[in-house]
Amino acid sequence: MARRHEDRKPGQRFERSGSQRRPAGRPARGPARGTAGGPARGVRRKSGIRVTPAAPARELDDGKVRLNRFLAMAGVCSRRAADELIAGGRVEVNGEAVTELGRRIDPKTDDVHVDGEAVRQEKPVYVLFNKPKNVVCTNARHEQKKRVIDFLPEVRGRLFTVGRLDLDSEGLILLTNDGDFAQRMTHPRFGVPKLYSVELRGRVAQRDLERARGGVWLAEGPTAGMKIKVERVIGDRSQLKVMLREGKNREIRRVFAKLGFPVLELKRIRIGELTLHGLKPGAWRFLQRDEIEDLVRLATTAAEPVGGGDQ
């Protein structure tokens, strides 16, 4: 359907300027401008200009913290999940339901309940554990199999695993009561690298490696791809080192199964710069302050926007 130019004067001709049409004889306008004198949105998107959002305002130094942060620090859940609890009216402060997401509280004096249960701020705990096979990453009380937390009876307070390793997998896993820290370690946006030693059934070929590196479509969508190094191929076995920065459920097993190479052995051997050194299967240790800071710094750096390049 042809465009109508209801404001065109009789006999007036139009000339093209790029993708715009303008009346003949009228000078072309300069580049589109935004409301603040900068490039308009379309120009920014086309030229690849990155716009940095303003930094969030700092909380007042009055001892109070945001309610969602308090819930995360208490190990209830991540900040994002806490916002959902608050919006759903499931959080009470001093006996009154709170639905205001920006509500700030005093952890020392305010009484907080979630679904009727009191929430107490605990001292943050960070543990590195070498998970054996046939151990599950759940806190379910009626679980029949041995749980990761059953190996840490002397650690007081509520702990939960940061992410999961399935029943047949082994190696490093973190435990904490800090929901905010757990969110940073597991969310794909932060991209904390995790290295795995993997043994496959079959002689993996270069084309299969390229498919895995480029991303494979799973039920919940495409994977972000993985870094792969072939250690050795012997007989009908292939041994690899695989690095992930996202971590969909059982991603490595599902990707290689889809490519026709069942995973026979899978061990997580590194999280960030943390390794298995000094930890036998079933053993654990507390993280040092500098190790925690390094992990948080790594997550922060990985989350910063990068202009054009691959991860």
| Residue 166 annotated among the catalytic residues of the structure | yes
29, part of any domain: no
Instruction: Give the model's pLDDT for residue 304.
Output: 57
Q: Note the pLDDT tens digit of each residue in 271-282.
A: 999 999 999 999
Same domain for 130 and 173, yes or no, is yes
Instruction: Give the model's pLDDT for residue 285.
Output: 96
What distance in Å separates the CA atoms of residue 229 and residue 251, rounded to the nearest whole number?
A: 17
Same domain for 183 and 74, yes or no, is no
More confident of the two residues 107 and 133: 133
Q: Note the pLDDT tens digit of each residue in 175-198.
A: 998 888 988 898 888 889 999 999
Q: Note the pLDDT tens digit of each residue in 292-309.
A: 999 999 888 765 554 433
Same domain for 217 and 105, yes or no, is no
Same domain for 143 and 258, yes or no, is no
Instruction: Give the model's pLDDT for residue 60.
Output: 54
Instruction: Give the model's pLDDT for residue 107.
Output: 85
17, part of any domain: no
Q: Note the pLDDT tens digit of each residue in 210-262.
A: 999 998 898 888 888 899 999 999 999 999 999 998 777 899 999 999 999 99
Say which of 166, 168, 178, 310 is annotated catalytic: 166
Same domain for 172 and 291, yes or no, is yes
More confident of the two residues 282 and 310: 282
Same domain for 171 and 216, yes or no, is no
Instruction: Give the model's pLDDT for residue 61.
Output: 60
> What pTM does this model have?
0.66
Question: How many CB atoms sit inside 10 A of residue 266's CB?
Answer: 22
Among residues 118, 136, 162, which one ends one of the domains? 118
Q: How confident is the model at residue 32 (pLDDT cuts 50, 70, 90)?
A: very low
77, part of any domain: yes
Instruction: Give the model's pLDDT for residue 268.
Output: 97
46 burial level (CB within 10 Å; 0-12, 13-18, 19+): exposed
* Whether pLDDT at 30 is above 60: no
More confident of the two residues 129 and 72: 129
Q: Between the CA of residue 266 and those of 86, 206, 229, 260, what are the distances in Å?
A: 39, 21, 15, 16
Helix and strand totals (H; E) in the chain: 7, 19
DSSP string, 106-135: -TTT--EEETTEE--PPPP-EEEEEEPTT-
244, part of any domain: yes
Domain span including residue 298 = 126-188+277-303
- 275's torsion region: left (phi>0), alpha (psi -120 to 50) or beta? beta
- CATH (domain of 236): 3.30.70.1560
Q: What percent of the chain has pLDDT over 90?
A: 52
Domains identified in the chain, total number: 3
209, part of any domain: yes
Instruction: Give the model's pLDDT for residue 276.
Output: 95
* Cβ(130)–Cβ(278) below 8 Å: no
More confident of the two residues 246 and 27: 246
What distance in Å separates the CA atoms of residue 294 and residue 288, rounded to the nearest whole number?
A: 10
Instruction: Give the model's pLDDT for residue 67.
Output: 93
* Whether pLDDT at 44 is above 80: no
- Pairing outcome for strands 65-66 and 91-93: unpaired
More confident of the two residues 281 and 57: 281
CA 224 to chain CA centroid, Å, is 12
